[in-house]
Amino acid sequence: MQVIPLLVTLLCIQQGRALRTLAAKKPVAAVLISGSLRGEPELCLGEFRRNVVDKNPGMDFDFFAYLSVEDGTNIQSARNKVLRSLPRGAHVVIEPESRKAASLHDAIPTIDRQTSNDGGKYVKVINTAKMLHGMSKVENLRTSDPQSNKEKSLLHYDLVVRMRPDLYVCTSLDLTPALREKAIYLPYEDSNEQLAFDQFAVGPPELMHSYATAFNTTFKNLVGTANAPISGTLYPEKFLWRHLNEVGAPMRRLHGFHASLVRPQQSGTSNFDDPFAKLRKDFPTIAAHMPSHDC
């Protein structure tokens, strides 16, 4: 019996199986959700599952959420609602607003005294800071192993998605274009006006790491010095565009994005507002080029 040829044949078969397994492996996307949790999380997160996760069957998804709730809210109850709205295995951290504010002030003690009048467009610096700080926190959840606290490889995922918890994606959204080019895909970006939409983004993990850690770099450099004048724009979409431009992250348009911002009302109902409303108001000459509000 010729043993060596048989072993070679078996080895080739095993290698072929391994190659087919690798070829069949689905791309994996990490979904990073950060912001203030208002209303029922299932409304927006459930719609994201239906119109993004279910409409991209060739991908697998992991979820990470760093959220805040009003002081006095039952944290465990809120966390349970979020977990029920997401697939099994989601990593969810929820903090009261006061704890989030304390963490922000520890990072930038002068933040409350900062304001900006950006070309006649008033900017609430504290709101920009909260958004960027939350993005950095949820990115920490993705890159830190909660069991061993060791850094995971930034290449563990094929894509990273950033979204707000109150963003209601109302039509099917194809994410596969973001797999074709190393770039950050945004529902709207404008290089002439230097604007990058800041409520939703998708791209490869190394570029999205630069996106999500803008608070730790560019933002702190602008506002971290006590009583110093702010030398750059803090209009959120302008700030984000300039940050991405500075770190060399290519920006591309993500087509097919249609969404609303859900605003719970005291009556128990919710308003579905245009997520581009402020941009349309502040930049009327380019408003027609922004995605329509169809839901």
* Contact in structure between 202 and 160 (CB atoms under 8 Å): yes
Contact partners, residue 149, CB within 8 Å, separation at least 6: none
pLDDT under 70: residue ranges of the chain: 1-24, 112-123, 145-155, 224-233
Question: Where does 70-149 show beta strands of DSSP type E?
Answer: 91-96, 116-118, 121-123
In a domain, 1, yes or no: no
- Tell me, what DSSP letter sits at residue 187? S
In a domain, 7, yes or no: no
Using CA atoms of 156, 173, 68, 97 in order, give the dihedral in degrees to the nearest 10: 120
Question: Where does the chain show beta strands of DSSP type E?
Answer: 28-36, 60-69, 91-96, 116-118, 121-123, 159-163, 167-169, 184-186, 189-190, 195-196, 200-203, 251-253, 259-264, 270-273
- The per-residue pLDDT for 206 is 94
In a domain, 260, yes or no: yes
In a domain, 18, yes or no: no
- The per-residue pLDDT for 107 is 85
In a domain, 294, yes or no: no
What is the tens place of the pLDDT at every residue in 129-152? 899 999 999 999 999 855 434 454
In a domain, 140, yes or no: yes
- The per-residue pLDDT for 118 is 58
Domain holding 31, by residue range, is 26-289
What is the tens place of the pLDDT at every residue in 90-102? 999 999 999 998 9
Q: How many domains does the chain have?
A: 1
- The per-residue pLDDT for 146 is 53
In a domain, 87, yes or no: yes
Closest by alpha carbon to 222, among 103, 114, 112? 114
In a domain, 3, yes or no: no
Tell me the CATH number at 219: 3.90.550
